[in-house]
Chains A and B, each alone.
Chain A
């Protein structure tokens, strides 16, 4: 299964072209503070070092002034995005069904093998079912992005 789709990312990612027609943000200009002055730090006692640390932590966590502008895609970008997402979903679905089919085949294989073994030799069949309780070894690792300096470990040392 080969999919050769050239993804052209929508222009939101490349430049600000789609925002070109926007007017100035009036709300930001006309904003006034109706409740008067902002509370001064000194009055609150924030000059205390440990309190300042907690205030800093809160500022790192909170969403205030940190949320970007909402995405407003122009119709063309929206269509592009939907096409990309659809292509991805189709690709994922195909992959998933393929994997499921292969797993089902593998299961049938195991089942066939065990059924035949049962007919041919009941002793070997018993031995093949006798599972020792064991875990997967730690050396059976999750693959990494870049290989280690020695890609393969030639030393036999069981953990």
Chain B
């Protein structure tokens, strides 16, 4: 109530809508007219349409991870996560300031208690929100690439070789001349995997690579970002166990370690760990069955 009253007298409030209220009204939304040229029409075709320039078939073979998840794991996970009369666990949200103070009117909201970042609500797991692996992202940071820029070619090629997806460049965000880090300079590569590429990579990792790493004791128990995404790191020595690299070792003289993040739709790390264990990833602190 107080806020609305104040707004009537405030000149700043009127500007928030994004357009001028002085007649005649001029909208401030800018339109790039050059993008409306007819030669760009084909860009607007969605990429899953065969007439699009970027068309690429995605469902090219039976996806055995997805099939296993649909046929067996989904109902098992639902039973596993069932809680009777469970309620929504509200996450920490941004807090309002003292409503009576006029000075706090347009201030940013206060940080939430505890963790310092807003967290999501955790809903009880039912038939519609069973945790699911939504993607895997590989992130390769090569620190030497600041000094030897040609290493960026090797990093991209290594990820492309392993995942069969064209990588995107990673650029440094800060300037630190003592580390020879320059803002905007390339220093690695990253790949986002979904669908059949993701399944293929997951199978290679769990069936061929991880069992052969002697030092691997399972996914570390501390791994996880509190939002249901679990990460592991691979060393350059581990990377050579990928069959795609192993059989062409002379073509990849420089190998780089990288981080693998498993993105899940689980709201908590514990749920994400259970999901990943069901997909064949071993965990460090796995309790005895």
**Does B75 reach chain A (CB closer than 8 Å)?**
yes
Measured between beta carbons, the chain B residues less than 8 angstroms from A107 are: 78, 82, 126-127
Q: Report how far A140 CA is from B53 CA in the complex, Å.
A: 42
With contacts A107-B126, A142-B65 known, is A129 near B156, CB below 8 A?
no
Query: Is there contact, CB below 8 Å, between A132 and B287?
Result: yes
Query: Is there contact, CB below 8 Å, between A103 and B289?
Result: no
Residue of A54, A135, A141 near B273 (CB, 8 A) is A135
Q: Report how far A70 CA is from B79 CA in the complex, Å.
A: 49
Main secondary structure of the interface of A (DSSP, over half): helix
**Does A137 reach chain B (CB closer than 8 Å)?**
yes
Interface residue count for A (Cβ, 8 Å)?
42
A134 to B, closest residue via Cβ: B287
Q: Report how far A58 CA is from B282 CA in the complex, Å.
A: 36
**Does A5 reach chain B (CB closer than 8 Å)?**
no
1/0 per residue, CB under 8 A from A, across B59-78: the answer is: 10000110110100011101
Task: Report the minimal beta-carbon distance from A72 to chain B, rounded to whole angstroms.
Answer: 9
For the complex of A and B, the 9 pairs showing the least CB-CB separation, nearest first, are A135-B277, A136-B278, A103-B127, A107-B127, A104-B127, A136-B277, A142-B68, A114-B84, A57-B157
New A-B contacts (19) at CB < 8 Å, excluding given A56-B251, A57-B154, A81-B50: A54-B153, A54-B154, A61-B156, A73-B50, A85-B50, A103-B75, A103-B78, A103-B127, A106-B78, A110-B78, A114-B84, A125-B84, A135-B277, A137-B289, A138-B282, A142-B68, A142-B203, A142-B279, A143-B67
Write the residues of chain A forming the contact surface with B, with a CB cutoff of 8 angstroms.
Answer: 53-54, 56-58, 60-61, 70-71, 73, 78, 81, 85, 88, 99-100, 103-104, 106-107, 110-111, 114-115, 118, 125, 129, 131-138, 140-145, 158
